[in-house]
């Protein structure tokens, strides 16, 4: 892997297929890395603030042991989206869940940038999905 100078970042968000590409593109530009390690669960930003033990064990392995330690991830995008079947709440609650989850992830990863993103339909073309940064990366 190191021979090819491949760069990674990490996404933690919903499994919903409509959001993966737009989050990947956002992260590539924002974190200047090529490959998103994609950690998903249905409506995960609704679950992270509850600190479920099994979810955290799984997250520790994927995020810390693999993405950070093996892939040297350059940062994490925590994302949620409108019309989420796994976390069926209104957009304002969804954004609040993203903010809370971003703080939870930040505690796990120390000095790496963690960015909170809300994905929603484009106002101009509702068949398109767009990513809005709602929590800025806190850098040391």
Q: Which residues make up the interface to Zn ion (CB under 5 A)? A: 14, 16, 84, 86
Complex with Zn ion: residue 35 or 86, whichever CB lies closer: 86
| Residue 101 beta carbon to Zn ion: minimum distance, rounded to whole angstroms | 13
Complex with Zn ion: residue 49 or 86, whichever CB lies closer: 86
Comparing C-alpha atoms, which of 81, 71, 68 is closest to residue 113?
68
Contact 114, 14 (CB under 8 A): no
Beta bridge partners of 98: none
| Residue 14 beta carbon to Zn ion: minimum distance, rounded to whole angstroms | 3
3-state SS track over 33-95: CCEEEEEEECCHHHHHHHCCHHHHHHHHHHHHHHHHCCCCCCCEEEEEECCCCCCCCCHHHHH
Beta bridge partners of 132: 118
| Residue 32 beta carbon to Zn ion: minimum distance, rounded to whole angstroms | 27
| Residue 25 beta carbon to Zn ion: minimum distance, rounded to whole angstroms | 18
In the three-class reduction of DSSP (H, G, I as helix; E, B as strand; rest coil), residue 105 is classed as: helix
Complex with Zn ion: residue 13 or 113, whichever CB lies closer: 13
């Amino acid at each position: 892997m190191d021979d090819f100078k491949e760069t990674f970042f990490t996404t933690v968000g919903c499994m919903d297929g409509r959001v993966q590409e737009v989050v990947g593109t956002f992260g590539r530009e924002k974190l200047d890395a090529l490959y998103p390690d994609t950690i998903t669960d249905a409506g995960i930003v609704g679950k992270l603030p509850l600190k479920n033990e099994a979810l955290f064990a799984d997250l520790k392995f994927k995020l810390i042991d693999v993405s950070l330690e093996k892939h040297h991830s350059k940062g994490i995008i925590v994302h949620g989206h409108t019309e989420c079947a796994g976390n069926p709440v209104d957009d304002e609650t969804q954004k609040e869940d993203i903010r809370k989850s971003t703080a939870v992830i930040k505690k796990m990863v120390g000095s790496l940038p963690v960015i909170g993103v809300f994905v929603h339909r484009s106002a101009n073309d509702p068949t398109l999905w767009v990513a809005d940064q709602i929590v800025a990366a806190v850098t040391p």
